[in-house]
Amino acid sequence: MGSASHSQTVRIAISGYYGFRNSGDEAVLRSILLALEEQGAAQGVRVQPVVLSADPAWTSSMYGVEAAHRMRPADILRTLRGCDGLISGGGSLLQDATGTKTIPYYTGIMRLAQLLGKPTFAYAQGIGPVNRRWMDPLIRGVMRRSAYVSVRDAESADLLARIGVARERIEVVPDPVMGLPLPALPPANAWGSDSGTPIVGVSLRSWRPDGADLTRAAEALIALSKRRSVTLRFLPFHTPSDVVTSQEMIARLRGKLGEGSSAELAAPGDDPQQMLLEVSRCDVLFGMRLHALIYAANRMVPMLGLSYDPKIDHFLHRIGLTAIGDTEQLDPELFANEAVALLDNPDEWRKKHVPAIDLLKQQSQQPAQQIVTYLRQYRSR
């Protein structure tokens, strides 16, 4: 992080799904770190983050910050005691779709910080789904005791309000990744390839046990390839699982694509800004991963979303879009029609959706600004 001289220093612990090589969550972390640094510099505060990570050495090397192991109680306790506060987020931390341990873990970290007398901040969280009512008090308790609560969509705010968190205390903000910049020396061409063959970015994940959703996705991509020569560039957002899924999809497509079309696997590495760069090179993006769609919005790349979770629909609605399909249905011909329309008229798509995207980008720094202001005043007492 920056080394400029500041009038005071604050140490802030950051809890989230970090250190797992998930590009979306790592992009959230990168975005939070950059926003804290920028807002700290604006307010004369040097922010020293300490990230709770599944791989502290990797996180420290990737981001140049301190890190501690997220599953070692002694490390967590030592980190929280040595910090001025705790950020929880962003991402979909408080949900039980992935099991019964997620909500107790993240609310437990927040509650421990609160018991130690540290202010806690919910940073652009995506709340829900929460299907087990016994988890409501866990969420309600830590949110009511937090110094600042922000969520990334109105639906998350509504869920918190339903379980007893005062609605006026909840700020609805964009996902932090809306403010993520490209790495240094971005490509000269803003969108697409120089070869003349359009690039369609594809971000898919394994979801249905029977694989029927991926079968339909393959049929849709084949239909598109027969209408227009395209390069299908698969973008693995969560390694290694998305790499495996992408390789399986490429194998399914082999010998079935239209003349002049091809499929390939991108290898951007673990740096989220390099994946953002890959997305910026696409003419259109077909995304199932939430952060693939957010990356596309960040870079003004026309997109088609495939919904597997309400969070996909919530994000698309914020920029005036609806999903092209979901894990139960996807019409190959409708998909091909929509994709060709986006390839033919990308500027029309941008003209329609850029105002909403620009607003989200402008608002993406709000949580960092609020948190730095609070900590600066907290330390001055």
Find how far residue 46's CA is from the centre of its chain.
25
Q: Where are the domains of the chain?
A: 8-173+364-380, 199-360
For 231-271, the pLDDT digits (tens) are 999 999 998 999 999 999 999 999 999 999 999 999 878 88
3-state secondary structure of 321: coil
Beta-bridge partner residues of 121: 87, 148
- Interhelix angle 290-298/272-280, rounded to 10 degrees, is 60
User: E strands within 21-169?
Assistant: 45-53, 66-69, 85-91, 120-125, 148-151
Measured between alpha carbons, how far is 283 from 280 in angstroms, rounded to an integer? 8
For 120-148, the pLDDT digits (tens) are 999 999 999 999 999 999 999 999 999 99
Instruction: Report yes or no: 124 and 291 within 8 Å, Cβ to Cβ.
Output: no
342 sits in which H/E element: helix 332-344
What CA–CA distances, in Å, run from 365 to 245, 248, 261? 34, 38, 40
Q: What are the counts of helices (DSSP H) followed by strands (DSSP E) for the chain?
A: 14, 13
Token pair of 134, please?
């016994």
Instruction: Report yes or no: 165 and 125 within 8 Å, Cβ to Cβ.
Output: no
At the top level of CATH, which class does the domain 199-360 belong to? Answer: alpha beta
| CB half-sphere exposure, 349, CA atoms < 13 A | 22
Residue partners of 82: CB distance under 8 A and separation at least 6:
11, 50
Q: Kindly state the DSSP code that residue 176 receives in the 8-state scheme.
A: G
pLDDT score, position 5: 46
8-173+364-380 has which fold?
Answer: Rossmann fold (3.40.50)
Domains 8-173+364-380 and 199-360 share a fold: yes
Measured between alpha carbons, how far is 136 from 101 in angstroms, rounded to an integer? 14
Residue 285 has pLDDT above 70, yes or no: yes
Buried/exposed code over 263-298 (b: 16+ C-beta within 10 A; e: otherwise): bebbebeebbbebbbbbbbbbbbbbbbbbbbbbbbb
User: E strands within 158-212?
Assistant: 170-172, 199-203
Neighbours of 299 (CB within 10 A): 21
| CB half-sphere exposure, 143, CA atoms < 13 A | 31
For 315-348, the pLDDT digits (tens) are 999 999 999 999 999 999 999 999 999 999 999 9
Instruction: Report yes or no: 315 and 290 within 8 Å, Cβ to Cβ.
Output: yes
Token pair of 200, please?
């369609």
User: E strands within 16-83?
Assistant: 45-53, 66-69
Measured between alpha carbons, how far is 16 from 63 in angstroms, rounded to an integer? 15
Residue 216 has pLDDT above 90, yes or no: yes
Measured between alpha carbons, how far is 123 from 19 in angstroms, rounded to an integer? 18
Measured between alpha carbons, how far is 132 from 65 in angstroms, rounded to an integer? 36
Residue 4 has pLDDT above 60, yes or no: no
Query: What percent of the chain is modeled with pLDDT above 90?
Result: 88
Q: Kindly state the DSSP code that residue 224 receives in the 8-state scheme.
A: H
For 155-180, the pLDDT digits (tens) are 999 999 999 999 999 999 999 999 99
Q: Kindly state the DSSP code that residue 38 receives in the 8-state scheme.
A: H
Instruction: Report yes or no: 83 and 99 within 8 Å, Cβ to Cβ.
Output: no
